[in-house]
Structure 1
Amino acid sequence: MPRPLLLLRPVAAAATSPKPATTPFLSLRRHLSTTPHAAATTTNPPNPASPSPSRANPSPRTQLKPPLPLTPSQTAFLSSLLRVNQAGELAATLIYTSQTPPLVTREPHLRPLLAHMLAQEASHLSTFNTLLAKHRVRPTALYPLWSVLASGLGWSTAVLSREAAMACTEAVETEIGGHYNGQIRVLLEMVEGWERAGHEVGEEFRGLVETLRRIRDEELEHLDQAVEHDAQKAEPHWLLTGVIRAGCRGAIWVSERV
């Protein structure tokens, strides 16, 4: 069974943390309430014959308080974040997979673009699959339904036209990019609160923020590429993108909770 990722403490302390049973992030709360900060920051014992550099020149890092454990609401938010992001990346992967055969049959020059976008989406899905497993977070119960709907959406828009397929990408990536932005804002508010209170923030938690930023930027790259390939020439553009965006918002809302 893979070891859970402990987001709020330094990576060096991960090897000694107990494994959770079934509750997401349970070991995080238990570990941070019992492990002294010194165990995570001290790698070599000081030489008693020489003055300690940290005493002579205390650095801001050594003066920080130990990381705070996650509150129940923060735990619920992170579990929801991983669940909905995994579902979204699954849907995006299936949309591009279903769009590829009809599109490249009619317009072979689109093959490299579609392959590039699909490869990035598959990488995003792999990232969240790994995080779900490490945190013992269950995927959405509607996984099979989203799989069918995403495949159908990708295939049907590609059969309609290249413009319709690109409009689908534009709509989906607009909603996904905005959703990632909202998640990043919440995580940064958590980091700001901990830092303002003088508590340390683990590198793995910061790494999660950077991962979301990278994935968001790649999703917005897909949005730009869709617009460049005539997404807004789809007829009727406003209706097609409006329906797809509304469907994405509904799927996000449900996947966060179910």
Structure 2
Amino acid sequence: MLCCTRTLALASLRSAHIPVLDFLAPSIILYSQKSRFHSTPSPIEPPANPHAEAIQDEKPPIHHLNKTQSDFLDSALRVNQAGELAAVLIYTAQTPPLIRSHPHLRPLMKHMYDQEAGHFKTFNELIAKHRVRPTAMYPIWHAAATVLGWGTAVMGREAAMACTEAVETEIGGHYNEQIRVLLDWAERCENRGEDLGEHIKTLIKELRRIRDEELEHLDYAVEHDAKEARPYELLTNVIRGGCRTAIWISERV
């Protein structure tokens, strides 16, 4: 019987035109049988942890602002919006007389104006989003910024740039203080295992971007001879004092 089976196997292989030596046939048949019944066992996986997904998805609780923090945020957004409005008005008033005498400054003035207009738009959106009351001093700041811009431009290029240097020095410092406070909130929340929330994280990011652009304007002003203005010390000190006063009032009114 074994001989017949072997003969049939060899005949089948030869009929398929496969050159197989006679003594290999039993080995081929045996290997085929082993491969069917002796496959390599798959590795045993540890039992799934039913709580693993829940642990992975667990997020820290969101911190809710207390009254002091909410009041700080309201005053910060209010004064920032007012400050960016003033900056837009200053550049609007400075540009015509300045580029009439110094046409090469047109691209620089446009660049700074466009950035300030973008800042103003950002704070308008944030004021609306957080339902913050704008300052009641809008009409006064509107007039004061326009007069400051036009007056320094008439005094000359150096005075106009000194105005930019003074304003951006105060505004840059003011933004730095706001960022410091918000980062302190974030650190305290992290220590408590809380999340400050996406809206505050986004605000910190925006404040950093706007601060950097404001300080860029300060650098432009110094590069264009702001310190050559006469009287430089008197002019910049008066403007910086006015900015600090406007910030203090806008935070409260």
Does TM, normalized by the shorter one, top 0.5?
Answer: yes
Aligned residues: 206
Partners of 1:223 and 1:118 lie apart in 2 by 13
Within the alignment, does 1:172 sit opposite 2:167 as a pair? Answer: yes
- Asked whether the 8 Å contact 2:165–2:221 carries over to 1, the reply is yes
2:213 corresponding residue in structure 1:
218
Partners of 1:135 and 1:202 lie apart in 2 by 14
Larger radius of gyration: 2
Q: 1:130 aligns with which of 115, 125, 128?
A: 125
Within the alignment, does 1:54 sit opposite 2:53 as a pair? Answer: yes
2:236 corresponding residue in structure 1:
241
**Deviations 1:37-58 (CA, angstroms, capped at 9, x unpaired):** xxxxxxxxxxxx9845435xx4
TM, length-normalised to structure 2: 0.79
Q: Which runs of 5+ in 2 are unaligned?
A: 1-47
Partners of 1:219 and 1:207 lie apart in 2 by 18
2:251 corresponding residue in structure 1:
256
> How is 1:129-168 mapped onto 2 (pairs within 5 angstroms)?
129-168=124-163
**Deviations 1:52-92 (CA, angstroms, capped at 9, x unpaired):** 5435xx45x7252x112111001100000100000000000
Query: Given the superposition, is the C-alpha separation of residues 195 and 166 from structure 1 closer, same or farther in structure 2, using an over 3 Å criterion?
Result: same
Q: In proportion to residue count, which structure has more helix? A: 2
The DSSP-based 3-state class of the residue aligned with 1:198 is coil
Q: Post-superposition shift, 1:95? A: 0.3
The DSSP-based 3-state class of the residue aligned with 1:136 is coil
Counterpart of 1:54, as a letter, is E
Partners of 1:252 and 1:63 lie apart in 2 by 38
Partners of 1:109 and 1:171 lie apart in 2 by 22
Partners of 2:199 and 2:133 lie apart in 1 by 21
Within the alignment, does 1:185 sit opposite 2:148 as a pair? Answer: no
Q: Post-superposition shift, 1:203? A: 2.3
Q: 1:205 aligns with which of 200, 203, 209?
A: 200
Counterpart of 2:82, as a letter, is A
Counterpart of 2:213, as a letter, is E
- Asked whether the 8 Å contact 2:63–2:197 carries over to 1, the reply is no
Q: Give the structure, 1 or 2, with the largest relative contact order (CA under 8 Å, sep 6 or more).
A: 1
Q: Which runs of 5+ in 1 are unaligned?
A: 1-48
**Deviations 1:76-135 (CA, angstroms, capped at 9, x unpaired):** 000001000000000000000100000010110000000000000000000001111111
Runs of 4+ in 1 over 6 A off after TM superposition: none
Partners of 1:70 and 1:94 lie apart in 2 by 34
> How is 1:106-117 mapped onto 2 (pairs within 5 angstroms)?
106-117=101-112
The DSSP-based 3-state class of the residue aligned with 2:64 is coil
Partners of 2:63 and 2:49 lie apart in 1 by 33
Q: Post-superposition shift, 1:189? A: 0.6
Partners of 1:63 and 1:146 lie apart in 2 by 45
The root-mean-square deviation of aligned C-alpha atoms, in Å, is: 1.4
Q: 1:72 aligns with which of 55, 67, 84?
A: 67
Percent identical:
64
